[in-house]
Amino acid sequence: MNLTLYVWRQAGPKEKGRLVQYEARDISPDMSFLEMLDVVNEDLIRRGEEPIAFDSDCREGICGACGQAVNGTPHGPRKLTTTCQLHMRNYQDGDTIYIEPFRALAFPVVKDLVIDRGSLDRIIQSGGYISVHTGGVADGNAILIPKSDADTAMDAAECIGCGACVAACPNGSAMLFTAAKVTHLASLPQGKIEAGRRVCMMTEEMLRQGFGNCGNHYECESACPKGIRVRFIAKLNREFLKTRST
């Protein structure tokens, strides 16, 4: 199939970017979205032009490196799917596709579609850890955890930190990302101890990093390739209230 692409080209962090039109020729429906970009890049290299810079790593939907907004939707139109797992069979011959980097103040563009998501790392560094002694593996296994709590923690731990929630949020908020880590740790005995403090540290760092406030738009949940739920944000709020009331 042949497609018309409008791709965001930006030479560097300080440069002015713009959408540039490209034709993607002879694209197989079996290709992933990133493989389609590879084909376009090979063509650009052949013509002596600068290839489109974009992030990718595992290409199997688990690393969170790929981050492109496809027609304004982070990771494209398929639910629970990262861009690398989005296949071209979802498109038809002659389609026009807009490809842009994830947009947020806290995600500065490095080049073209590559963004700096270090701000998410700094939220984790501010409180997304456990500082109590958890002992060895045997000690961990000796602590009984209700199945439902373990399930909640695992569901929240599914977050791959791709930043789609931020990219989809009209407020550029990282609340779903933060809430996933808060819920993951606060659902387990070792993480409960610092739960309230963690909420304060992480949400304060979130604002410091230039993310917006959560306005309960729920766009994040819809865009999340890992199905992180906004009920974790409600959980974060409850943990905050618990700290304040004690």
Partner 1 sequence: MSLPASTVARKLLMAATGQLMIIFIILHVLGNSTIFYRTLNAYAAGLHALPLLLWIFRSVMLAAIMLHVFYGIQVTIENREAKPRTYAVQEYAASTFSSRNMIWTGTAIGSFLIYHLLHFTFQTIDPSTAAVTHPDAAGRPDVFAMVFAAFRRIGILLVYAAGLLAVWLHLSHGIQSSFQTWGLNGEKSFPYIKKGSRLAALILLLAYAAIPAAIVMGLLK
Summarize as ranges the residues that interact with partner 1 (CB under 8 A): 6, 19, 69, 71-73, 98, 100, 103-106, 168-173, 175, 199-200, 203-204, 206-207, 210-219, 221-223, 229-231, 233-238, 240-241, 244
d(CA 207, CA 202): 9
Q: H or E element: which one contains 180? A: helix 175-186
Min dist CB 164 to partner 1, Å, is 11
Indicate the residue among 59 and 218 with the shorter CB distance to partner 1: 218
Least distance (Å) between residue 128 CB and partner 1: 16
Give least dist CB 67 to partner 1, A.
13
Task: Please answer whether residues 166 and 212 qualify as being in contact, where contact means their C-beta atoms are separated by less than 8 angstroms.
Answer: no
Q: How far is the CB of 99 from partner 1 (least distance, A)?
A: 10
Minimum Å gap between C-beta 179 and partner 1 is 10
**Residues 224, 219: Cα–Cα separation, whole Å:** 9
Q: Which is nearer to partner 1, 59 or 217 (CB)?
A: 217
Give whichever of 45 and 105 is closer to partner 1, judged by the CB atom: 105
Q: Which is nearer to partner 1, 140 or 215 (CB)?
A: 215
Sign of CA dihedral 23, 3, 86, 13: positive
Using the minimum distance from each CB to partner 1, give the nearer residue, 24 or 214: 214
CA-CA distance, 48 to 113, in Å (whole number)? Answer: 20
> Under 8 Å CB-to-CB from 208, ≥6 apart: which residues?
none
Query: With contact defined as beta carbons under 8 Å apart, do 131 and 38 qualify?
Result: no
* Contact assessment for residue 172 and residue 113, using Cβ atoms and an 8 Å cutoff: no
